[in-house]
Amino acid sequence: MRFFWVRHGPTHYKGLVGWSDLPADLSDTDQVGRLSHYLPSDALVISSDLVRSVTTADAIAGTRQRLPHDPDLREMNFGEWELKRSPEVSQTHPELSRAFWSEPGHHAAPGGESWFDMTARTGRAVDRLMQAHRGRDVVVVAHFGVILARVADHTGKLPKQVLGQKIDNLSVTELTFDGTGWEVGAINHCP
């Protein structure tokens, strides 16, 4: 079962964007078209319920079957840090923010969730997709943290080991389950 993880279109916001419902800029219709053409024509398409993912999924779906939005595919919940920039977060929570980024895993922003919380949440969404649509290709339009969490979880890497990986907007990361384990294909492929 192949999963094509697509990062939503850019929001152009310069801060921590988790559960805030900011729109995506999909004005580069050539790039959106190349992405849609690259993806398997018979794949199912699902997205988080945040508008930046929903509109990106709608833009690339074409004639593919669209599944209902899944809130478990949302970006990390940054709690009190939502929409703040790194310098502000570092100033208000110096030790916690340092631990959050240098040793990600169990640390969470006040009122937010940890990397492992997000990994478990998104893992439940993947499990549901695998049970309901076994053997199908699935395009999942989601977020930077979600895609990295899936890469880390399926490769057995620690969050710290994948945080430096670039995941561009409108890029594709391919993860395949062969019945016994996960295989990582292209990461951050920009068609």
pLDDT at 91: 96
135 pLDDT band, cuts 50/70/90, is: very high
How far is residue 18's CA from residue 41's CA, in Å, rounded to a whole number? 30
Instruction: Give me the percent of the chain exceeding a pLDDT of 70.
Output: 100
Quickly count: other Cβ atoms within 10 Å of residue 82's Cβ. 17
| Residue 94 exposure: Cα atoms within 13 Å on the Cβ side | 1
* Closest to 129 measured CA to CA, from 118, 119, 143, 140: 140
Average pLDDT over residues 105-127: 97
pLDDT at 168: 98
Residue 190 domain-assigned (yes or no): no
* Residues sharing a CB contact under 8 Å with residue 61, sequence separation 6 or more, in sequence order: 36, 45
- Sign, CA dihedral 21-27-28-32, equals positive
Residue 90 domain-assigned (yes or no): yes
Residue 191 domain-assigned (yes or no): no
143 pLDDT band, cuts 50/70/90, is: very high
Instruction: Give me the percent of the chain exceeding a pLDDT of 90.
Output: 98
Average pLDDT over residues 161-187: 96
Of the candidate ranges 22-26, 114-118, 160-164, the one whose mean pLDDT is the lowest: 160-164
**What does the pLDDT look like over 51-71, one tens digit per residue?**
999 999 999 999 999 999 999
Residue 110 domain-assigned (yes or no): yes
Domain count, the chain: 1
Residue 189 domain-assigned (yes or no): no
Structural domain for 131, as ranges: 2-184
7 pLDDT band, cuts 50/70/90, is: very high
CATH number of the domain encompassing residue 35: 3.40.50.1240
How far is residue 123's CA from residue 60's CA, in Å, rounded to a whole number? 24
Residue 151 domain-assigned (yes or no): yes
Residue 156 domain-assigned (yes or no): yes
